[in-house]
Amino acid sequence: MTASPDPPQPDRRAAAALCALLGSPGDLRQPEVRETAERARDLLRSGAGADELAACFRALDMLLRQAGDARGLVNESRGGAVPGLTPHIKVAVCPGPAQCTRVLRARDLLPAPHCAVNDTRMRKGRLGPAQ
């Protein structure tokens, strides 16, 4: 007689990242993110199956990234302050009154690129969910 394999366990890294996320109210400003995080917490508490939890973790990861959090859910930097890493994608956008859709990566230590249309430097900002 063979022993049955252990039932699949939830992703421990995702559970730890969820714990850090729930402890950071600033990351839960978006209602969809907050609701999905709370749903994942409830699934963990109720002992839901690994497949159901994995689907919820994937949905939460996608919502975080759509909300502008480049880390997503499972990333080594979640819950810790790592120098040089930020949860948002910094970009340079058109500064003029007639704004175009040009978006470039903005580096912290370098000035923003030049905008040829408005003859000035682009302004730095954060990539929003609508961009």
- What pLDDT, in 10s, does the model give residues 60-115? 999 988 888 878 887 655 544 445 555 567 888 877 766 666 777 777 778 888 77
The two three-digit tokens of residue 12, written as one number:
């421990």
Q: Is residue 4 scored above 50 in pLDDT?
A: no
Residue 108 sits at the vertex; the CA angle it makes with 70 and 113, to the nearest 5 degrees, is 105
% of the chain at pLDDT higher than 70:
73
CA 14 to chain centre: 13
- DSSP element (H, E) containing 125: strand 123-126
- Could you tell me which residues are beta bridge partners of residue 93? 103, 123
